[in-house]
């Protein structure tokens, strides 16, 4: 299963990525992890990325693309992979398509997590994170046992800058300008599967697995 996961910030992409990768026994490849491992190992790409970051610049697409290409050439992706956080725009989607065309192993499904905008604002602005262990809670859906304190380590909970309502609104705008067009891209490729991502995490995972199974069944 070669899978791309797409969805706005707050759609629960990270959690679903972990669940689906484990269900299909494929590596979960997130751009964040690729960056961290290249930086840690001090690879030429990692050093190049670091030189931009040290100057306070964004890492150019070109460097990110090379890191993704490099990651997709590792042996563990032979049974498939789940990409999370890439592609982030149509240019990257084209790059990915070219990388996979070389290997004659195209993306089989782009799974879109569909969440209502108000629901996203509600989910993210209610999130509280432990200062100590980074565990996330939610003031409505996943309340800590004691107000303002982490269940795991007793650390103070706070609202990350990213989770403030005005910041969320801006992130959603960036998403609809840059990332949402890749949904059309994968629709044209005939591999788009959209599922509602409301409700409990496990229900959404099940919905995703069922939709992906139905798709591979219909291709067989």
Would you tell me which residues interact with Zn ion (CB under 5 A)?
130, 132-133, 135, 150, 152-153, 155
H or E stretch covering 196:
strand 192-196
Q: Say whether 88 is catalytic.
A: yes
State the minimum distance, in angstroms, from the CB of residue 22 to Zn ion: 24
Nearer Cβ to Zn ion (7/144): 144
Instruction: Report the C-alpha gap between 116 and 213 in whole angstroms.
Output: 25
Question: Residue holding tokens 């994968």?
Answer: 186
- Closest distance between Zn ion and the C-beta of residue 123, in Å? 20
The count of other CB atoms within 10 Å of the CB of residue 161 is 7
Active site residue 36: no
Strand runs labelled E in 60-120: 81-84, 109-114
Pick between residue 74 and residue 160 the one whose CB is nearest to Zn ion: 160
Q: Is 127 a catalytic residue?
A: yes
- Of the residues 50, 69, 135, 171, which is catalytic? 171
Residues 6+ apart with CB under 8 A from 125: 159, 163, 164, 165, 168
Q: Identify whether 13 is a catalytic site residue.
A: yes
Q: Which residues, listed in sequence order, are joined to residue 4 by a DSSP beta bridge?
A: 83, 110
Nearer to Zn ion, 44 or 152 (CB): 152
Contact between 27 and 76 (Cβ < 8 Å): yes
Catalytic residue, candidates 160, 164, 170, 206: 160
Is residue 111 within 8 Å of residue 206, measured between CB atoms?
A: no
- To Zn ion, the closest distance from the beta carbon of 93 in angstroms equals 37
CA atoms of 170 and 25, how far apart (whole Å):
35
The catalytic residue among 88, 97, 135, 215 is: 88
CB of 159 or CB of 178, closer to Zn ion: 159
Least distance in angstroms from the C-beta of 131 to Zn ion: 8
160 is catalytic: yes
Q: Which of 2, 71, 127, 128 is catalytic?
A: 127
Catalytic residues: 13, 88, 127, 160, 171
């Amino acid at each position: 299963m070669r899978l791309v996961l797409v969805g706005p910030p707050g759609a629960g992409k990270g959690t679903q990525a972990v669940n689906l990768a484990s269900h299909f026994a494929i590596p979960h490849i997130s751009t964040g992890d690729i960056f961290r491992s290249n930086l840690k190992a001090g690879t030429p790409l990692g050093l190049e990325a670091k030189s931009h970051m040290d100057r306070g610049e964004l890492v150019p697409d070109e460097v990110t693309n090379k890191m993704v290409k490099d990651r997709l050439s590792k042996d563990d992706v032979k049974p498939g992979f789940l990409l999370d956080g890439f592609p982030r725009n149509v240019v990257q989607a084209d790059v990915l398509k070219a990388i996979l065309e070389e290997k004659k192993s195209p993306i089989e499904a782009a799974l879109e997590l569909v969440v209502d905008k108000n629901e996203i604002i509600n989910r993210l602005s209610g999130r509280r994170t432990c200062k100590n262990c980074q565990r996330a809670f939610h003031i409505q859906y996943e309340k800590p046992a004691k107000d303002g304190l982490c269940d795991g380590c007793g650390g103070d909970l706070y609202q990350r800058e990213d989770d403030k309502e005005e910041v969320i609104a801006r992130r959603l705008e960036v998403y609809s300008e840059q990332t949402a067009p890749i949904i059309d891209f994968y629709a044209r490729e005939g591999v788009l599967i959209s599922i509602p991502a409301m409700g409990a995490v496990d229900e959404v995972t099940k919905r995703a697995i069922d939709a992906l199974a139905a798709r591979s069944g219909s291709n067989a």
